[in-house]
Structure 1
Amino acid sequence: MSNTGLIIEERASDIGDFLVGRLLPFRKKRMVGPFIFIDHMGPAVVKHGSYLDIGQHPHIGLSTLTYLFEGEIMHEDSIGTKQRITPGSVNWMTGGRGMTHTERTPEDYRDGRTTKMHGFQIWVALPKDLEDMEPNFTHVAASELPKWTQDHLHFTLVAGEAFGKKSPVPVYSPLFMIEVHAKENAQFDAGTALKGEIGICVIKGSITACDQEIGAGNMLVAKDEDYCKIGVSKDAHLLIFGGEAFPEERFIYWNFVASDKATLEIAKEKWKNKDFPMVKGDTSYIPLPER
């Protein structure tokens, strides 16, 4: 998904063990592990006149992870994939050296019905030695993801490894992404189960960290690696993510991610000249934003 106009940055605050802000990137923290961009989509109503219609746009140097709670999206890409994204499943698209895709409301949902759209669009930067890898796509059904319950908390391991479990999503660096639902008020203490930098998106309800209550719509980033101990409110819904940080800085321009700015300039010119691989049979084209 194109990130144009989707990120609202707010000043991050410091509450002790955590930084608090709105999603990634925010000013005090540009990445959490290899995670470089997080967009919370919705909840929104999709109906006639407001369908999702994101035309062809490119990606390099990253994998996109689409994870829905409600609604459905039809994904098509330049390597020939046509995949319906459904709630609880994972679409993992690796742009590598260059890939183009579209995201639209499925045709059978365009019959006047009203539906809801709610989920996350996430970018995971590739390691430097894999930035130019061959593009690929993987879809993992909801039933294939590890799930378990502990101390009134229900966990789904969306990607990576944590708590002795491993998701089938084919990631390229040490990371984790976990969905958490609280059945009752609970304590979450990761102990040694999460390795690297740790971020928490509060989707619903609230959490307590450093004696402060943090409500929905905020993201916390632990200031110390491998540390995460919070209180979780009843009926809360969280997304916990992170992993090992890369040694090199990453740069972003539009939908392009790279460890050097020259690669971004090459990608910009390629997209302007329509030299990227395109989705077969699709004539849409989102122009490169000038900024």
Structure 2
Amino acid sequence: MSNIGLIIEERSRDIGDFLVGRLIPFRKKRMIGPFIFIDHMGPTDLGPKKYMDVDQHPHIGLSTLTFILEGELMHEDSLGTRQLIQPGSVNWMVAGKGVSHTERTPEHLRNGNTFTAHGYQIWVALPKDMEDIEPEFHHIPATDLPSWKDGTTQFKLVAGEGYGRKSPVPVHSPLFMVEIKTEETYELNTMDNLKGEIGICIVDGGIEACGQSVEKGNILVSKVADTCKTILKPNTHLLLFGGEPFPEKRHIHWNFVSHDAQKIETAKQAWEDKTFPMMKNDKSYVPLPGS
């Protein structure tokens, strides 16, 4: 039996009026496969005096993956995209050489009622030779993602490849993101179905792994080949993240990711000078931290 490589507990971060739980990067683990950033948004009640409004901000060198469990978000970007995301679907934005975007509570939910917002904001680093590709945006409805059951346990392949299936999300390196929901006790087999590094994120419920009981709000990190026997408790909700790590380290500063620190410095200056690709119909602007 192998040991768990690391257990990371969510650390709270405040983004305006919205409290999120940061999972990675962590000082002892900067990436899981190509995944370089995972924020857990909510669950929290939003309503008349509090909405999620992330103003215009930039990205380079990565793809963003937005996955909503409850509530809705409106995505808009410098490509001219305007896309509502609802629970179970995927917004996949390839920043490449540079893109700006906003994510906000849509107007139809600003009706005086209270609703729950819950989801994950994820960044996937691009391979070294693809960091400067043209930006793209893709929306994949929940009904297009591979879903299946093993007994009473429900699986959904959100992105990448695993369990003999392939998601339609157009990723750029070997990776996986899998959603799992149990009704009864279930023994999880990742060894034969996934490759590379793995993060087991406990959204709800709990698991037994390597003789330890681990509850929601934690992410377990190891290599798939080293993952010990993992028992999922009834009514548990997991997200599995991971894949093959890159040979080069990645630098990360604010919303910028690159293997080359100078590219990040160039992007920072472009954002301060407002020569970065900007949205045409949104004049909001999040200043560079420390500027």
Residue number in structure 1 paired with 2:222: 222
In structure 2, what is the Cα distance between the partners aligned to 1:89 and 1:252?
Answer: 27
How far, CA to CA, are the matches of 1:54 and 1:90 in structure 2?
18
Partner SS, residue 263 of structure 2: helix
- Structural mapping, 1:186-197, within 5 Å: 186-197=186-197
Aligned to 2:166: 166
Taking the aligned partners of 2:288 and 2:229, their CA distance within structure 1 comes to: 42
Runs of 5+ unmatched residues, structure 2: 10-22
Name the residue aligned to 2:5: 18
Shift of 1:108: 1.2
Tell me what 1:99 maps to.
99
TM-score of the superposed pair, with normalisation by structure 2 = 0.93
Cα 1:137/1:228, change in 2 over 3 Å: farther
For residue 109 of structure 1, report the CA deviation from its aligned partner: 1.0
SS of equivalent to 2:111: coil
State which drifts further: 15-24 or 207-216: 15-24
Q: What TM-score comes out, normalization by structure 1 length?
A: 0.93
In 2, Cα distance between the equivalents of 1:183 and 1:149?
11
Match of 1:67 in 2: 67
| Distance of 1:228 and 1:70 partners within structure 2 | 31
**1:1-291 → structure 2 map (5 Å cutoff):** 16-22=3-9, 23-223=23-223, 225=225, 227=227, 229-290=229-290
Find the residue that maps to 2:55 and give its secondary structure.
Answer: strand
Pair 254,261 (structure 1): closer, same or farther in 2 beyond 3 Å = same
CA RMSD, 1 decimal: 1.3
- Counterpart of 1:9? none
Question: What is the identity, as a one-letter code, of the residue corresponding to 2:129?
Answer: D
Q: Percent identity?
A: 57
The structural deviation recorded for 1:53 is 1.1
State the shift of 1:26 in Å: 1.3
For 2:34 and 2:50, locate their aligned partners in 1 and report how far apart those are by CA, in whole Å: 33
* Equivalences, count: 277
State the 1:225 CA deviation: 4.1
Structure 1 counterpart of 2:238, one-letter code: L
2:12 aligned residue? none
Q: Is the 8 A contact 1:194 1:226 kept in 2?
A: no
Moved over 6 A (4+): none
Aligned-pair distance for 1:223? 4.6
Contact (CA 8 Å) 1:189, 1:228: kept in 2 or not? Answer: no
